[in-house]
Copies of this chain bind each other. A is one copy, B any other.
Amino acid sequence: MDETQWLSADERAAWLRLVAVVELLPGVLDGQLRRTSGLTHFEYLVMAMLSEAPERVMRMTALAQCTNATLPRLSHVVRRLEERGLVERRPCPDDGRATDAHLTADGWETVVAAAPGHVETVRRHVLDPLTPTQVQRLHEIGDALLRELDPGGRLAVLYDPDPRA
């Protein structure tokens, strides 16, 4: 009757720690960015992706994929960012249906100003507690997990500087 293959003690321990990290980390990042820059972690992610794109422009769909957001969610967030003057929306010249999101000068400066504090937070809470060997292992483990979690490579731009075709 009960065909489920339950977890071994080792698996369970590793899994529960990962759950706890996944549960806690977003709050830490979000809180720091909110306090020091008035940005959500997701808003920061959107603007950071734009800031690294050629011309600081991206199509809404591409931006949604590489930030792991649904299109409606991105649309709302970009509208709010536009109202704050950090992003601009323009119809895409190549495709009448599409919309291009531009990072404005103000937006660029906001990202640049937010980055150091964000990096500092990441260093203190994630990198510093780990030995260099553990950092290397985390890299490998992340690769293995992402092959399953992100088979289409939608977030590849985030973690892979040069995704193959």
Contacts and interface: CB of A to CB of B under 8 A. Distances in A.
A46 to B, nearest CB: 12
Interface stretch (A19-27, A55-63, A87-95, A99-107): A19-27
5 contacts: A18-B126, A126-B145, A129-B145, A129-B147, A138-B141
A5 B123 CA distance: 9
Contacts of A27: 68
Nearest to A5: B123
Contacts of A34: none
| Interface of A: prevailing SS | helix
A150 B18 contact: no
Interface residues of A, number: 58
A77 interface: no
Contacts of A122: 7, 15
A78 B20 CA distance: 21
A122 B21 CA distance: 15
A119 interface: yes
A15 B127 contact: yes
Nearest to A128: B148
Contacts of A140: 134
Interface string A129-158: 110101111111111111111100001001
B20 A22 contact: no
B7 A119 contact: yes
B22 A159 contact: no
Contact of A149 (B7, B21, B120, B145): B21
